[in-house]
Amino acid sequence: MTGNAIGIRKRERKRLLVGLCFISPWLIGLILFQLYPILSSFYYSMTNFNLFQPPEWVGFGNYAEMVRDEKVWLSLYNTLFMAVFGLFPHLAFALAIALLLNKNVRGQSVYRTIYFLPTLVPTVAATLLWMWLLNAQYGLINELLGRIGLPQPVWLLDPLWTKPSLIMMGFWGTGTTTIMYLAALQEVPKLYYEAAEIDGANAWHKFRHITLPAISPMTLFHVIMGLIGALQLFTQGYVFTEGNGQAMGGPENSLLFFAIYLYQTAFSFLKMGYASAMAWLLFLLVFLLTVVVFKTSARWVYYGGER
């Protein structure tokens, strides 16, 4: 081997060491705060562990217990209810507002700013505000409903209305989704609309056959992120019940979402092994739904450049 080749190898080794030094903080963080907790939770999911006694190995016992646990099924139902009946109305609402904000009208930037402002309010503060608005005795919403002669539901105490209350509250925080839809709408070439108008297309035809396909990648992104967020729904349900002086899970456990039951299992019942198994079930559910959405997206998502 020549001296020149040895010199090149030394320089490459030195550059490798320098590179490893630069990324070492990220690597250490990844190992300590992500990989280790993930692997630990899988181990604890196979044990009975209450934080104060050594873990007791039970194999897949926690997973078998989940099948028999009625609260697991109830919390899954509540969570999937919110994922289906909460996500898609919110997306439709955000798209409708984005279409309005995309109109070339005077003061357009002011309207966009005003609509986005509620998104800046922290989730806990927004939830407390909505608890006041939805209060059956002195809430503003029931006051307005009463004045126009409509029924006044007991939003926070009636199991039939607790989940619709949360869905209604979700419209408050669609500002980010709207702004992203607005950015996607502005990327649609106007040439398509002009060509469609020449062919006699009306507003619905242009929306159905040009706008929706053109922004379908953005819709896919929102569906994926929305599903993940809905399956991990926690803060709103927790504040709704705790702030209203109710037991965790709300009236008749109508707000017992999977993440809330997981939290309750871990930190109220101290069943860390069982809670770890629940966390892995949630991970598998999110993974499977994400794969299903991606697999089916080829039928309705259009990417520029595709034939």
Q: Kindly report, residue by residue over 152-200, the tens digit of the pLDDT.
A: 899 888 999 999 999 999 998 899 999 999 999 998 998 989 999 998 8
- 64-298: what CATH class? mainly alpha
Q: What is the pLDDT of residue 138?
A: 87
pLDDT tens digits, one per residue of 273-291: 999 999 999 999 999 999 9
Give the SS3 label for residue 56: strand
Would you state the pLDDT for residue 244? 67
Q: Cα dihedral sign for 109, 110, 112, 117?
A: positive
Give the SS3 label for residue 243: coil
Q: Which residues in the chain show pLDDT less than 50?
A: none
Look at residue 3 in the predicted model and tell me its pLDDT: 63
Ramachandran class of 99: left when φ > 0, alpha when ψ lies in -120 to 50, beta otherwise: alpha
8-state DSSP, 52: S
pLDDT of amino acid 212? 93
Per domain, the residue ranges of the chain are 10-58, 64-298
Q: Residue 287: what pLDDT?
A: 95
pLDDT of residue 9: 79
> Which residues, 6+ apart, have CB-to-CB distance to 254 below 8 Å?
78, 159, 160, 162, 163
Structure tokens that stand for 240 in this block: 């709704």
* pLDDT for the residue numbered 156: 86
Q: Treating both helix axes as pointing N-terminal to C-terminal, what angle do 216-231 and 175-186 enclose, rounded to 10 degrees?
A: 160
- Rounded Cα gap, residues 224 and 291, in angstroms: 10
Characterise 253 by phi-psi region: left (phi > 0), alpha (psi -120 to 50), beta (else). Answer: left
Provide the strand spans (E) within the chain. 47-48, 56-57
Quick one: which H or E segment has residue 19?
Answer: helix 3-30
